[in-house]
Amino acid sequence: MLEAIIGHLKKLYKDKRGVSNVLVIMLGLILITIAVANVVLWNYQMNQLDWEKAQEKIEITYFSDKSPWFNSNAEYILEMGQCISGTYEDTWHPKDNAYQTFVEESDINNALISASPSEYMILGSTRYIDGSVDDLKDDDNIYLTFGSYSSESLTGIFGNSANGTGYTSVLRNQMYGSLFVSPSAYITAKSISFFGCSSVGTRNVKCMIVRHIDMQIIAITEPLSISTTLQWWTATFSSPPTLEPNTEYVLMIIPNNHIKFYYTDGFANQGHYDTSNNYNSPSNPTDSQHNDYQYCIYCTYEMDLEHRVEIEFRGNVTLASWTQITLAVDSSSTSDTVTAVFQLYDYQAGRYSEVGEDGYASSIIGTNDFLLTKNITSNINRYIDYNGGWRLKVTCVKSTSTSFNFKADLIELKFSIQNDSDFTLSIIGEFTANIRNFLPSSIRFINVSLRVKASDNFEALILKAYNQISRQRDIIAQIDISSAFKYYNVTLPDWQSYIDNNGTLKLIITDSGPDATQTTIYLDFFGVQIIFNGVLVSIRNIGVTTVHIVSIWVINATHHIRYEENRFLNSGETAYYIREDIYWPKGIYMVKVTTGAGNIAVSLIK
């Protein structure tokens, strides 16, 4: 074999053309190898792209120059009138054969005065927190706030109150004490008592409460001078601390010289001591050691059983032959299940109204505002003095060891003379829009829409919006309604004056004035919508991989426009944003969103 190869090489050596053939063959093989590798690589890359493309899946969930409709999320408030059928949810969707029906009621506005308090008097140990009586004129989430005080408490002790027989000799600058658990409610520590005596002469001792979890000193008593008489000694706090419920505390002493500190048997590691502290400036005993002694030391405390707020509000009204008083109080608390009692002063009886009397009302309030109303139709003059003055006492009570705040939003007395010949209507609705999701510059205006009819053709409705700046009800439209359902749309260009910090818009529907005909109003739809400069785009990634949105197409019969986009969406993520540069076509059009991998989501908009 070797001889054959050598022979061929000699032959090739003699034949220069043979060498050239070998080189050509070798180069050809290299080129073929490269080509095949490129084909394989290209095929792999195509398969990879196809796989990635197959994993992508996006959808267009919203595309419009208008937001979705925002409807009232609670029952409408009726200042005048009655709801005779339906609920606020029946006004969410038009043309669904469901609507809410209201009927006018006898007008008292032609002889009505609304009176809010002009001053208040704090009773008991109630604390003023924030606000003024001007905040009581409107139901606008601006409060006059008062803090509660402890109206009932008990005194107790926790620690070891037994007289021990064994003792520890505690030297100067040494800190000794034992671990105990506080009661199951917040308490105020008043003093610390310990059983012991001085070894010689008199000694000064300080007592302290140490939080066990981090060995931080919570409070230190005033210094106490003790003698050689063995007895219980008590040191008081100049600023009594509040202790947490069910919490481990170490009650400790530190003397300025040698004393005897008595103990009884305790559990493992109950005793704590620090032999290198400082009487003049006690520091946290974080390096404490332990023993099994239960030192004779205890804390005397006060535990609050009840907290209350007491305020008297005062106002004046013009003297007249009033036939009805309507008391309205919108309030809340920083704690749940607070009992609130409202008592008008009875000038004939010389006292506040009592349970069962017309001038007495009560409710349970919590952290959400609650509107209480009470109508008084008899003995009206009992609650007004000869100068037109009136007084309302508010008492809030809760069985608790923790203080709370009472927040008054609206306090109003309406004095009226009933006139059964005229009828009127006033409805308040609150609409919360996701206004904080958008820049103010992207909002063109707010649209208010109603679909409504009346039982006669003689009514005109007034649509008002509560102005957050002037705190007035601005008339924004007058609507001449008929006995057939119709849509009515009103724009709010100066929308920022009417939206509060929570994005809430308060709208009021009233009739144009009292009349002798009792009209029924059928409200099929009542909603608020944001109109944008540009369009609101919402795209959701429902695939399993991250997608790269590269363009948005808007297509109709006359336009085929591409808008650049550069947005990445993780799996399950939704992009919700405004594009102010996108042209909003009229009529039917198609929106197409494309990804970098070539996937497309399409939505037909009518």
Chain centre to alpha carbon of residue 80:
31
CA distances from 95 to 66, 200, 391, 448, 523 (A): 20, 96, 50, 17, 11
Q: Which of 416, 438, 460 finishes a domain?
A: 416
* Same domain (yes/no): 432, 507: yes
Kindly report, residue by residue over 196-252, the tens digit of the pLDDT.
Answer: 999 999 999 999 999 999 999 999 999 999 999 999 999 999 999 999 999 999 999
Q: Are residues 290 and 224 in the same domain?
A: yes
Whether residues 70 and 45 share a domain: the answer is no
**Residue 157 lies inside a defined structural domain of this protein:** no
For CA atoms 548, 550, 552, 558, give the dihedral sign.
negative
> Residue 263 sits in a domain of what CATH number?
2.60.120
Q: CA-CA distance, 320 to 61, in Å (whole number)? A: 61
| Mean local confidence (pLDDT), 357-377 | 94
| Residues 367 and 513 reside in one and the same domain | no
497 and 563 belong to one structural domain: yes
> Hey, CA dihedral for 579, 582, 583, 589, is it positive or negative?
negative
Q: Domains in the chain: how many in total?
A: 4
Q: Which residues contact 356 (CB under 8 A, 6 or more apart)?
A: none
As beta bridge partners, residue 226 has 203
- DSSP calls for 79-124: EESEEEE--GGGGSSTTSS--EEEE-EE--GGGEEEE--SEEEE-T
In a domain, 156, yes or no: no
Task: Confirm whether 566 is domain-assigned.
Answer: yes
More confident residue, 236 or 64: 236
In a domain, 592, yes or no: yes
* Closest residue by Cα to residue 176 from 200, 195, 191, 156: 195
Q: Within this chain, do residues 497 and 393 fall inside the same structural domain, yes or no?
A: no
Residues 353 and 492 in one domain: no
Answer whether residue 466 is part of any domain.
yes
**Alpha-carbon span 243 to 227, nearest angstrom:** 30
The CA–CA distances, whole Å, from 512 to 108, 388, 420, 477, 479 equal 15, 31, 18, 11, 9
To 10 degrees, the CA torsion angle through 592, 595, 600, 605?
-20
101 contacts: CB under 8 Å, gap ≥ 6: 83, 84, 85, 86, 520, 521, 522, 523
Assess if residue 557 is contained within a domain: yes
pLDDT for res 560: 83
Q: In what order do the strands lie in the sheet containing 504-511?
A: 77-80, 426-432, 504-511, 460-466, 473-480
Q: What is the mean pLDDT of residues 569-592?
A: 85
Instruction: Name the token pair of 429.
Output: 């609705």
Q: Region 165-171: what's the mean pLDDT?
A: 97
* Number of other CB atoms surrounding residue 226 within 10 Å: 21
300 lies in a domain? no
Query: Is there a single domain that holds both residue 350 and residue 384?
Result: yes
Highest-pLDDT range among 328-332, 483-487, 508-512: 328-332
Residue 107 has pLDDT above 70, yes or no: no
Q: What is the pLDDT at residue 543?
A: 87
Do 222 and 354 share a structural domain? no
Residues 75 and 63 in one domain: yes
Global pTM value: 0.48
- In terms of residue numbers, what domain contains 587? 56-107+423-606
pLDDT in tens, 111-152: 578 899 999 999 999 999 999 999 999 999 999 999 999 999
Cα–Cα distance, 209 to 239 (Å, whole number): 13
- The HSE-up count of residue 75 (CA atoms within 13 Å, CB side) is 11
pLDDT over threshold 60, residue 395: yes
Residue range 22-58, pLDDT digits in tens: 566 677 677 777 766 665 565 555 555 555 666 788 8
Residue 6: band (very low, low, confident or very high) from pLDDT cuts 50, 70, 90? low
Q: How far is CA 304 from the centre of its chain?
A: 28
Picking from 416, 434, 453, the residue at the C-terminal end of a domain is: 416
Judged by DSSP in three states, 434 sits in coil
Give the CATH number, domain containing residue 569: 2.60.120.260
Same domain, yes or no: 602 and 471: yes
On average, the pLDDT of the chain sits at: 88
Instruction: Please report whether residue 395 resides in a domain.
Output: yes
Q: Compute CA distances 43 → 38, 49, 84, 183, whole Å.
A: 8, 10, 73, 76
Cα gap 270→248, rounded to integer Å:
11
Pairing of strands 224-226, 175-181: unpaired
* End position of a domain, from candidates 53, 71, 90: 53
Q: How far apart are CA 138 and CA 118, in angstroms?
A: 14
Same domain (yes/no): 482, 541 = yes
Contact of 492 with 445, CB cutoff 8 Å? yes
Q: 23 by DSSP, 3-state: which? A: helix
Which comes out higher in pLDDT, residue 567 or 294? Answer: 294
